[in-house]
Structure 1
């Protein structure tokens, strides 16, 4: 009898090991739970994703993060930021964007979903010694707390240019601004004409800006459509400068009626030293009608010979494995 039990145990272990061996892709979603607006990034040879906790506004009072060594297995880092540490933030903590500078990690986020200049909230900055937090308020107040050029202060993306200068792209309500961050991320440096916030809104822009550089060109990306609808999607433009002009090329990410709806609000991860790119985004399962029921997914992003982004095929399989050297 003991021999049989030992044999069964060994068999189960072998099957478990075999199952792990044959898991060659991440699957989509890449981790469980309702999460949206994901920013994917690499720190210390490890992949990280920082998403919005997708729930009613009053319950959006924290941010979780996830990390992986191979894009397959993800570890959850719960409540890396909480409104308990951000006294002015009460709800609707959205769309984190993070960057490392001088061995510190700066997390930009939106809070309170302000509707006018009289309401308290906007875009804030938190700081930590670790990409896994905990993060504390960097300023004790919002970095941007007003509407400029018609842009709601949400959906921030911090971008480091080739010369080391950092810029903040942001904006909802169909307007996008860029501003030049100062060295300690406590404010902004005016442009040559004296302005702080420069509008760069491309055609059909709604929200969710993102930028990366490939072969010397600036790829500016954004979300179109309504975030609760099936036609939420991602489009892009290419320019020679982070300020544009950005002429819309077309959509590259959208729903597939066979897979999921509302694919949008994305980010892009490039494997260092390689022309290998992944798009990290959220989408809504076909079975769901609740606007907040969004999942974080990853798929492959490629380019044609002209440098244009090929339409992304959204999959159930996902990507991977990828390890960083």
Structure 2
């Protein structure tokens, strides 16, 4: 639990109390597209720095032992380390493998196959970096099945296979990563990029397993608008087919708007789940004024996700054991 000392204005008094909730946003600053992870005894959040594209030239990260106290790690990866990237660094996905940390990211917001950019990979020996370019070039630099190469998510299946799930422009692909993350192995039918786009998909894919079933989640609507939201589907395979079930995260006009582009946290050794997402504070008109928040995500008896209530309180402290 976090203990904080506050001075009472004008009285010269101080009080110590226990903060039971993390509060939303979970840390200050304009940050979006957060991915949450557990590495060792710390929680980590890797977000997009939310600013005009030409200012999105670096990534910060945040770590916490308990979901309440957050430490900022500045510029863990910048365009200085990625010679082919110059702007629009987006939506990191970070995974540990064989003692190293692989940082997947989008860069340059390419609009066609002739432009330089797409999805890249960086690597470091610790979750705070510093990260260095792993390939010296993009991992994906072309449009496949109509999917813009952005919004990458790395998913590890139960059999140890790693997949890259990604895509903007209303198309989503899944591909089998090679064990060393230098490229892709084709599926048995010879296809490298399989499209798994469900109804309503726009961008921001995420996948997790609960009770043997695959939950596939994505963002809908426009990211600058109030109706940005998250929907989901369930299947028996990471390849689907995925039939849209419905929205589970969206704006609350009394709390915030534009709630979307999320990730999911499962507390280790518990069936306790949180959704980490960005939203726009009430009254903010700038599309880039987005903040990172966290709220409880619950399931009903059939395993369907209940609609998430977005809050100002956030989540309780959960120190990692």
TM-score tier, shorter chain, comes to over 0.9
Cα separation, 2, equivalents of 1:171 and 1:238: 19
- Select 1:119's aligned residue among 115, 118, 125: 115
Tell me the secondary structure at the aligned position of residue 54 of structure 2: helix
Cα separation, 2, equivalents of 1:196 and 1:45: 36
2:46 is the alignment partner of 1:30: no
- Flag the 1:311–1:141 CA change in 2: closer, same or farther, 3 A: same
Cα separation, 2, equivalents of 1:217 and 1:324: 26
2:137 is the alignment partner of 1:163: no
Residue 4 of structure 2 aligns with which residue? none
Cα separation, 2, equivalents of 1:42 and 1:277: 13
- Flag the 1:306–1:127 CA change in 2: closer, same or farther, 3 A: same
Residue 3 of structure 1 aligns with which residue? none
Residue 206 of structure 2 aligns with which residue? 210
Residue 272 of structure 1 aligns with which residue? 268
Cα separation, 2, equivalents of 1:46 and 1:220: 25
- Select 1:243's aligned residue among 218, 239, 243: 239
Residue 140 of structure 2 aligns with which residue? 144
Q: Give 1:220 deviation, angstroms.
A: 0.2
Q: TM-score, normalised by structure 2?
A: 0.96
Residue 44 of structure 1 aligns with which residue? 40
Cα separation, 2, equivalents of 1:132 and 1:165: 25
- Select 1:295's aligned residue among 285, 291, 295: 291
- Write out the 4+ residue segments of structure 1 that deviate beyond 3 Å after TM superposition: 11-14
RMSD: 1.2
For structure 2, which runs of at least 5 residues remain unmatched after alignment? 1-7
Q: Give 1:324 deviation, angstroms.
A: 1.2
2:76 is the alignment partner of 1:80: yes
Q: Give 1:14 deviation, angstroms.
A: 6.0
Q: Give 1:320 deviation, angstroms.
A: 1.6
Residue 89 of structure 1 aligns with which residue? 85
Q: Give 1:88 deviation, angstroms.
A: 0.2
Cα separation, 2, equivalents of 1:62 and 1:44: 25
2:190 is the alignment partner of 1:194: yes
Residue 5 of structure 2 aligns with which residue? none
Q: Over residues 66-118 of structure 1, what are the superposed CA-to-partner deviations in whole Å (9 max), with x where a residue is unaligned?
A: 00011111000000000000000000000000000000000000000000000
Report which of the two has the higher share of strand: 2
2:53 is the alignment partner of 1:61: no
Cα separation, 2, equivalents of 1:295 and 1:90: 24
- Flag the 1:12–1:275 CA change in 2: closer, same or farther, 3 A: farther
Q: Over residues 186-205 of structure 1, what are the superposed CA-to-partner deviations in whole Å (9 max), with x where a residue is unaligned?
A: 00000011111000000000
Cα separation, 1, equivalents of 2:32 and 2:310: 16
Q: Over residues 16-55 of structure 1, what are the superposed CA-to-partner deviations in whole Å (9 max), with x where a residue is unaligned?
A: xx23x2x110110000000000001100121000000000
Tell me the secondary structure at the aligned position of residue 248 of structure 1: coil
How many residues of Structure 1 are paired with residues of Structure 2 in the alignment?
312
Cα separation, 1, equivalents of 2:130 and 2:231: 34
- Flag the 1:12–1:164 CA change in 2: closer, same or farther, 3 A: farther
Cα separation, 1, equivalents of 2:148 and 2:127: 27
Q: Give 1:291 deviation, angstroms.
A: 0.2
Q: Give 1:219 deviation, angstroms.
A: 0.2
